[in-house]
Structure 1
């Protein structure tokens, strides 16, 4: 239901699990909000100021406070246990990869490196393209994420995939897209003045179209990405 109201269309194999948890939390919040609003309206009407009525000092009810505190804690613990398996499937385990990428974040672009024609990284035929990622449909894609400069966040809403990208660390993520099409990749971490424009496109293709596109890129490789410019010193700071 929430997908049609708020969420972008899901194209990920683990998307339904993520959406189900969001919907469960959403309806818990809605029920609690309605109960609180009804109680507030009842109290406002019942205990409103009226002529001849004196205000009363009412002490707290320890038993009631313990009950609602324990109920809230029980809900949070239950949600933690229910989400543990989903978290493990997405972040810890996952199926073996069939397609592999290196993704390097920098202010303010994404660099996607495809392995050479032999399928291995480190060769001179590795292919690096800025802001354009192509993957085959119904294939497990594994990505090694890292950053050149500051913390970024690799966010593909249609895949329900979000992962911080930390300089000096290589972080592994995976996904399997179930529908062809073009989707947005964004940075979800405030990373500098150009943060809002740090976008890329994800193109999900049939295996045949993906192989054809990749072969054409190997035959006519794009110009290598420009090196990242050094950060300018703050205004008023004298260079050392």
Structure 2
């Protein structure tokens, strides 16, 4: 007589499978929240779009993978003998080896090409508009040296050989273009709705210019003058942080980024004293 005894699945196997299914549920609950800081820049919507795209696509792969893994544990776990598992044919094996590669390539590279490149082009590849407010930012351990060009629209020349404790940027004070330059430490003031072009430098080691609310994060590399621009869309005071470990005082390298209405910015700018 045929043996029709149904084998019960052990409790530990059921719990393990349930745990596998619970992990993506918890990940989806936490990932679905609005965890990004409030947006305050024009191009930031594109950055957020890329992040959400990656979160949804990779999250879907996580859910599918754990559902399948939980099913395998429940269905095939506890077997006394596990033999070699082979596909019906070598062609089928090759196909199912390539399918995950194609899917992941589409998820990664498709997102970069369709969503990422337009944001990259606007942030780095395109020239800053003619009405941009140009600000030079020189990073050092552990401060942000900020310079505005003044009424003449020209930055005075700098020379590393001139750098001292009292002259952190090495300005040539004898040059006429330097006389109206405005220097600020650890604070940046910009107008609302106008393009802001940052000329980023470093005088000692790697730093990273990070404005979370503006979706701006750019390394400052010694010996390189890096330029990028963006448009602030929200009035307020925001945190400027260094996102690259740059020494023992890294935690102190913080600044403030102030966005003012245009009239208030012009008033602030006119009240500043040139570098002495």
TM-score, reference length from structure 2: 0.74
Q: Is the 8 A contact 1:3 1:9 kept in 2?
A: no
Tell me if structure 1 keeps the 8 A contact 2:128–2:197.
no
Give the stretch that moved more between structures: 197-206 or 122-131: 122-131
Matching residue of 1:93: 126
Q: C-alpha separation between the residues in 2 aligned to 1:173 and 1:91?
A: 5
Q: Which residue in 2 is equivalent to 1:108?
A: 142
- How many angstroms apart in 2 are the aligned matches of 1:158 and 1:212? 25
Structure-1 separation of matches of 2:32 and 2:242? 21
1:121 equivalent in alignment to 2:155: yes
1:159 paired with 2:214, answer: yes
Unaligned 5+ residue runs, structure 2?
Answer: 1-30, 88-92, 157-176
The 2-side partners of 1:4 and 1:36 are apart by: 22
Alpha-carbon distance between aligned partners in 1 of 2:259 and 2:151, rounded to the nearest angstrom = 20
Of structures 1 and 2, the larger Rg is shown by 2
Q: CA–CA distance in 2 between the matches of 1:3 and 1:126? A: 47
* Equivalence map 1:166-177=2 (5 Å): 166-177=221-232
Q: Which residue number in structure 2 is paired with residue 56 of structure 1?
A: 83
Deviation at 1:86, TM superposition (A): 1.5
RMSD: 1.9
Aligned positions, number: 218
Is 1:147 aligned to 2:179, yes or no?
Answer: no
C-alpha distance in 2, partners of 1:77/1:98? Answer: 33
Kept in 1: contact 2:57–2:107 (CA 8 A):
no
- Alignment partner, residue 21 of structure 2: none
5+ residue gaps, structure 1, are 225-240
How far apart, CA to CA, are the structure 2 residues paired with 1:160 and 1:4?
A: 18
Higher share in strand: 1
Residue 159 of structure 1: how far off its partner (Å): 0.6
TM, length-normalised to structure 1: 0.85
Q: How far 1:3 sits from its partner (Å)? A: 10
* Structure 2: distance between partners of 1:37 and 1:70: 20
Q: 70-79 vs 9-18, which deviates more?
A: 70-79
**1:44: which partner in 2?**
73
Match of 1:192 in 2: 247
| Partner Cα separation in structure 2 for residue 178 and residue 77 of structure 1 | 30
